[in-house]
Amino acid sequence: MKSYAKLNIFLKITGTRGNYHEISSRFILYKSLFDKIYFEKSEFQHSGEDLNIISNIKINGENIINKAFKELLKTKFKDKISDFFKTHKMILEKNIPMGAGLGGGSSNAAAFLNLTNQTLNLNFSKKELIEISKNIGSDVAFFITEFESANVSGVGEIVENFNDDIPNLEVFTPSIFASTPEIYAKFRSDFIDNIDLNLAKKLKTLSTKEILKKYKNYELNDLLAPFQAINPNFKLKENEFFSGSGSSYFKIKGKI
């Protein structure tokens, strides 16, 4: 199963909810960049309490995919899921860079949930999988839907399909690892007075093409300013736009 990257065409902070930040954002799947996830029969039996993940990158035990697995074990299909993963391993071919604002980890967790649901015929609806994802990560719900474009709000759990007009985009990822919690903490401490609810509301109604034609990069992503405060050497050209909490950015390929 392909596990696609995402881009934030805009990302506006609309408030706070405890330690979380409420957002209004346009997420699109960036299908030119993806990881692959699939299951294979294991050579030996596992405990069924943790996933056996084989990957081209180093995976720690508390990764987001294992988190998704643990949430599935809380459901009525616990025994069926555990029995399957006693005899199967998960292969993760990683291409999406980490700490880049492209949602790679959340995409992997969602792909794991969708693939497990299909492979084991669990018959969870998308709505049920989104409910399971609430304890995993804020962007997972979007990837579960498999929408190509959506308006995402709340703390990431409200995902509304959007009939979009998306130009051809090109993505760049500098060698800067962005810590999402650090970027959000910087926003809360230094930039929270910049919240613009009216702009957030207006952007939801516009297509991606319209947004990128009409607005400047610093107007569209509230996390750009805190990211640049932490990484003062990071600069964007006028036709380049920041995704998520960074460090990736994108531009329109060719003429709009």
| Percentage with pLDDT > 90 across the chain | 86
Instruction: Encode pLDDT of 139-172 as tens digits.
Output: 999 999 999 999 999 999 999 999 999 999 999 9
pLDDT tens digits along 42-87: 988 877 778 999 999 887 767 999 999 999 999 999 999 999 999 9
Is 237 strand, coil or helix?
coil
Question: Domains of the chain: which residue ranges?
Answer: 2-161, 169-252
The one-character DSSP state at 193 is: G
| Active-site amino acid positions | 6, 139
Average pLDDT across the chain, whole number: 94
Note the pTM of the prediction, 2 decimals: 0.94
Residue 256 binned pLDDT confidence (cut-offs 50, 70, 90): low
Residue 77, pLDDT score: 97
pLDDT of residue 4: 98
User: For residues 218 and 116, what is the distance between their CA atoms, to the nearest angstrom?
Assistant: 40
Helix ranges, the chain (H): 64-72, 78-86, 104-119, 126-133, 140-145, 180-190, 197-203, 208-214, 217-220, 224-230
- Return the pLDDT at 49: 78
Per-residue pLDDT at 178: 87
Residue 20: pLDDT band with limits 50, 70, 90: confident
- What 8-state DSSP symbol labels residue 56? S
Look at the domain 2-161 and name its fold: Ribosomal Protein S5; domain 2 (3.30.230)
**Can you give the pLDDT at residue 45?**
84
pLDDT in the model for residue 68: 97
Contact criterion met (CB below 8 Å) for 236 and 219: no
